[in-house]
């Protein structure tokens, strides 16, 4: 069992001493090679503190979730392949840089995953976006697939799969199965997620050992209704309707 529950520790830049840093609960340590957890910076922890707060209204919930989503997208793009690319600057000198390689698309798990589409569009102009509608049964937490509409050439693309909440992992597993059935190899899927449960992450990584996950936070666990704890409640309700 590699995952240790979310610990509390001093948070801040390395040049400050431990006693100068305020303590906060940071992401659990996953120790799974395919799972990247965003750096637990003061900024990320403060943004998460706002969206986890039950007193936060919908306007702030949307604004601050979007900021974390932007961080996830920027980190996710680091996992795509690049090639060496040298350019000439206006002063006539070469700069040995990189360029992105390969076609991408986004796929959101509706409804909550759609909240991550704009963050992807802000970084990748005119990116193609597919949709998969999966809803968890409120009583049993079992996922049900209702609909999908995906780019025709999805099998030739890298897929950024979008869903902010990763609880039992059932919805994400079902979405990945749809992608695999359309010919997308597991190793070309990148799952971008805001908050995960340790059990969800563990099940998922065991089932798809080559699929990469980028998450902002691995939380403590699940409650008796399979909600993430401490979590932030129902993301879709808070972003869209509440």
Which residues contribute to the site for ligand URA (CB under 6 A)?
A: 112, 165, 167, 227-228, 231, 234-236
Interface segment toward ligand PRP; rule CB under 6 A; list 21-29, 55-63, 67-75, 159-167:
159-167
**Taking CB under 6 A as the rule, does residue 64 contact ligand PRP?**
no
- 136 a catalytic residue: yes
Instruction: Give SS3 for 129.
Output: strand
Cα-based distances in Å from 102 to 82, 87, 124, 157, 158: 8, 19, 13, 7, 7
Q: Residue 106 binds what, of ligand URA, ligand PRP, none (CB under 5 to 8 Å, by partner type)?
A: none
Q: 163 an active-site residue?
A: no
Note whether 84 and 63 are within 8 A (CB): no
166 binding partner (options ligand URA, ligand PRP, none; Cβ < 5 to 8 Å by kind):
ligand PRP
| Per-residue binding letters, 104-143, with ligand PRP (x by CB under 6 A) | -----x-xx----------------------xx----x-x
Beta carbons of 49 and 22 less than 8 angstroms apart:
no
- Give catalytic status of residue 237 as yes or no: yes
Q: Could you give the CA distance from residue 171 to residue 12 in angstroms, rounded to a whole number?
A: 34
Question: 100 or 227, CB closer to ligand URA?
Answer: 227
Contact 232, 115 (CB under 8 A): no
- Which residues, including other chains, have CB under 8 Å from residue 16's CB and lie 6 or more apart? none
**Which among ligand PRP, ligand URA, none contacts residue 238 (Cβ within 5 to 8 A by kind)?**
none
Q: Which CA distances in Å does 134 have to 17, 78, 213, 239?
A: 46, 28, 19, 17
Q: Say which of 70, 128, 136, 182 is annotated catalytic.
A: 136
Residues with catalytic function: 136, 140, 234, 237
Q: Could you list the residues that contact ligand PRP (CB under 6 A)?
A: 109, 111-112, 135-136, 141, 143, 163, 165-172, 200, 226, 234-236
């Amino acid at each position: 069992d590699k995952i240790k529950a979310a610990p509390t520790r001093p948070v801040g830049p390395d040049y400050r001493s431990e006693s100068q840093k305020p303590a906060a609960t940071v992401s659990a340590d996953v120790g799974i090679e395919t799972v990247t957890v965003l750096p637990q910076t003061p900024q990320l922890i403060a943004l998460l503190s706002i969206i986890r707060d039950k007193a936060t209204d919908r306007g702030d919930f949307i604004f601050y979730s979007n900021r974390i989503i932007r961080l996830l997208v920027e980190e996710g793009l680091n996992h795509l392949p690049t090639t060496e690319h040298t350019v000439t600057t206006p002063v006539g000198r070469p700069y040995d840089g990189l360029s992105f390689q390969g076609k991408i698309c986004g796929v959101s798990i509706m409804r909550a995953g759609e909240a991550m589409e704009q963050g992807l569009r802000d970084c990748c102009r005119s990116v193609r976006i597919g949709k998969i509608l999966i809803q968890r049964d409120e009583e049993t937490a079992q996922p049900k697939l209702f609909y999908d509409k995906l780019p025709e050439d999805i099998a030739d693309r890298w897929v950024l799969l979008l869903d902010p909440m990763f609880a039992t992992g059932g919805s994400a597993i079902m979405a990945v199965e749809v992608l695999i059935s359309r010919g997308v190899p597991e190793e070309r899927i990148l799952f971008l997620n805001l908050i995960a449960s340790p059990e969800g992450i563990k099940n998922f990584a065991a089932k798809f050992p080559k699929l990469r996950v980028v998450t902002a936070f691995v939380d403590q666990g699940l409650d008796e209704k399979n909600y993430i704890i401490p979590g932030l409640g129902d993301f879709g309700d808070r972003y869209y309707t509440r």
